Structure 1
Amino acid sequence: MLTDIALKQLKPQQKLYKVADRDGMYAAVAPSGHITFRFDYRLAGRRETLTIGRYGAGGVSLAKAREQCLKARQAVEEGRSPAQQKQRDKRRIAAGETFGAISKRWLKEAPMADSTRAMRKSIFDRDIYPIWKSRRLDEITPDDLRAQCIKVKDRGAPATAIHVRDIVKQIYAFAILHGEKIANPANEVGPASIATFTSKDRALSPSEIRIALAEVEHVPTLPTIRLGLRFILLTMVRKSELLDAVWDEVDFENAVWS
C-alpha cells in the first residue's frame, strides 16, 4: 500500500510503470516523473481506466485519490462508468454558462412583481453582476459571496448586503432548476454571518416622522412593505397590532379602524 513517503521516493524510468495501492487504484509513474492515480475496471465486458488525478502540489492528495477511487468502485457496482461520467462533467463545465449569462436569464425570466424586479435589478447591477459576470457558476465559493456581502455591509448598507446574498441564492436556485449540476454557495452563507440588526426603542419626534414619511417613498423594497411603513408612521400603532389586524375591524365608509 502506498504512502506519501513512498510516492516521493518513486523514480522515473524509461517507460511508464505502475505501483499498486489498494481497492484497485495504482500510481502510474511517467518518464517525466509525473505520478498519476488511476483505477482500472471492467464494465459490460469492456475494460476502462479512470484517471483520478495527478499527485502533488496543485493536484490530488493520496487520501483524496483513495476517496475518489471508492466512489468510482461504487459507480461500477451500480453499472455506471466513472470514466465516462468524468468526461461528461468536463464537457459540461467547458460548455457551462457563466454567472453573468444565467443571472441575466434569472432577472428576465424568474416570476416576480415588476417593483420587486426593479429593486433587485438595482442591487444586481451595482453589487453583483460586475463582480462575477465572467465567472463560471462552479467557480464562485461561499467565501467569495460572504466577502462581497461584507464589503457591501462595510460601506454602511447591511440590509443591501443581505439582499445580495438572497439574490445570489435565487440565481443559483434558478440555474439548478434549469439543469446545472452545481452547489448553491448561498446555502453556506447564513444572513447572521453577514449582518445582524438590533431593535431601537427610541420614539421618533414629530419632525423625524415627517422626514421618515418623505424618505420611505425612496426605500428600495416591496410596495407592500413601503405601504406598511407609511401606515405605521401615520397611525403610530405597534407592528404586532398591524400584523394581527383583520378586515372586520375596518369601517371603510367612515374611514375608521377600531
Structure 2
Amino acid sequence: MLTIAAVKAAGAQSRATKLFDGGGLFLFVTPAGTKSWRLKYRVKGREKLLVLGRFPAMSLQQARGAREAAKEQLGRGVDPGADTPVALSFEQLAREWHQHGRSAWSPVHADEVLASLERDVFPRIGKKAPGAIEPMECLAILQELEQRGCIASARRLRHRLSAIFRFGRPRGVANDPAEGLRESMRPLPLTKPMAALTSIKDCRDLLTAAEIAGARPVTVLASRFLALTAVRLEAVRGMRWEEVDLAARIWTVPAARMKLGRAKKGDSRFDHIVPLSDAAIEVLKRAALDINGCAYDDLHSSNANLHGLVFPGRGGAMPIAEGAIRELYQRAGFGGRHVPHGWRASFSTILNEDLGRDWRTDIDEALAHTTKGAVEGAYNRAQLLERRRTVFDRWGELLSS
C-alpha cells in the first residue's frame, strides 16, 4: 500500500509511471509530473479504467474512498464510469478551484472561503458530479443561508458556486446552475452608514472632549493623529517611528498594512504616502516626549533612542488595543455618533465642501482610494504630493482652529 510520503515524493520520469495502492487503485505520474488517481476494474470480464481525480486536490485517503464507492457501485451491477469519462465530484472540483485561487487571497479569506463550502455546500452536493447538479439544489443551499439571516453570505456563496462551475469548464462541466439564481434570492438589506461626524465643529468638539475624558495619553494622541491623517485604524496602530521622514514631513504606510490584495501587500510600490501637517507633526512631538521620553528631533540622529511603535499598548511591545479609541469616544459622550473609521468620512465630506469639486480626486487619493482605471493605474504612478499636502494642511487647519 502507498504512503502519503511516497505519493508526495513521486516525481516525473522519462516515461509515465504507476504506483499501485491496492484494489485496482494506482497513482499515475506523467513525464511532466502531473499526478492523478486511477482505478482499474472489470465489467462483464472487460477491463476498464476510471480517472478519479488529481493529486493533491484529491488526497490518498479521498482516493481510497472513491475506490470503495466505485466497488459499491460494481456490487450493485452499476458501472461507475458509465455516465462520465472522468469521475469528478463537485467537492473535488471545488477544492481544486480553492487551491488554484488561494495564492491571490489573504490566509484569513482563503480559510473563510473553504470553511463556507465545507459547512454549507459539501454535505449537500459535494459527492455529486458537477454536471448532475440542478439549479434548485443550489438554490436550496442558498435559501437555507438566507433563512438563518445570512443574506450577504448567501450572495457571496452563490458567486463562489458559479466560479467553481466556470472553473470546471475545461474539465467538461458544461453548465453553471448557480448563474441564474440571483433574481430568486432575497435582496440585500440597506446597509447602515458608519457613524461619522460631518460638521467640523462637532469634529473639534470630539477631539476636545477626548482630551479630558481621562484616557491614557497614548490613546488620546493616537486618536488625534488618526483624525489628522484619515487613514485606517490598523495603519495608526501599527505605525513605527522608522516610517516617518522628518526632512520630507511624510509618513509612509507600508503596503502590508493597507487594504490591498495579498499580492500587492508585499510590493513597496503600493505603499501609501501621507504628508504630515503642522498639527500632525505636533502630535508626533508629544508622542516622542510624553510616551517615549525623547525629543522628536532626535528621531533620526545617530544616538536616537526613539524606536518601535509610535503608539504602543500597555506592555510596550504591542500596539494600543483595537477598541481603545472607540471606547475613548464613548467615554467622551460621542458613542453612536462617531467611530474611529468615521474620520475618513468626515475628512471626505468636509473637505469636498470646503475645497470644492476641483479637489475631489486629490481628496480620494489622500484616502488611498483607487480612482484610476486599470490601464492608467499601471502607468500613472505620480503621487501628486504637493496637492495632497495642500489637502492635509487644510484639514489640519480646520481641525485645529
State TM-score, norm by structure 1.
0.46
The higher relative CO (CA closer than 8 Å, separation ≥ 6) is in 2
State TM-score, norm by structure 2.
0.31
